[in-house]
Amino acid sequence: MAHAAPRPRTVSRRPGTIRVFSDRTHSVAKLAVPVVLGLVYGYWAAANARYGGPITGWNLLFGFLTALVFAVLCAALLNIAPKLRREVHAVLWAAFSGIAIGFLVNQSHTSVLRSTVLGLATAAAVFAFLFYRYYTHEDAKGHRIE
């Protein structure tokens, strides 16, 4: 009975980490993920803004501009945030997600208070989760040990 020989794992540039996909795949994903998330977010915001009414040109323009802003900010955070300290890294992602959720809730014609509370709750939850994750995946000097 024949068995396959074990393949060597692909090792990334950083010691101690294993990369399943190639560098080209990661570079394409760094661009594709924000674009796809932006399109979904833009469609969602446009659907909330029209509130069940007809699709108009202004509604399409609003959706595409929202998608563009979301994708640009998401791509910027994906490139800039990992270079920062864990506290600032977690705060940036928490602020981004809280603002994004607050904006979506605000587009559904609810009160500003409700959108603010939901945005702040989302930001607090994202901050707690990400700070814990970054804190447990770094050494005392702030170097990642994934």
DSSP-assigned letters across all residues of 6-74: PPPPPB-SSTT-B-SS-HHHHHHHHHHHHHHHHHHHHHHHHHHHHTTS---HHHHHHHHHHHHHHHHHH
Residue 128 · residue 135 · CB < 8 Å? no
CA separation, residue 144 to residues 9, 21, 40 (Å): 20, 20, 31
What amino acid is encoded at 5 in this protein? A
Rounded to two decimals, the pTM is: 0.79
Look over the chain and give the mean of its residue pLDDT values, rounded to a whole number: 87
- Rounded mean pLDDT, 104-124: 94
Q: Where are the domains of the chain?
A: 23-83, 85-146
**What percentage of residues in the chain have a pLDDT greater than 70?**
83
Token representation of residue 70: 């979301």
Q: At 52, is the pLDDT very low, low, confident or very high (cuts 50, 70, 90)?
A: confident
How far apart, in whole angstroms, are the C-alpha atoms of residue 112 and residue 135? Answer: 34
pLDDT of residue 29 exceeding 90, the answer is no
For residue 39, how many other CB atoms are within 10 A of its CB? 17
Residue 109 · residue 51 · CB < 8 Å? yes
Token representation of residue 6: 């074990």
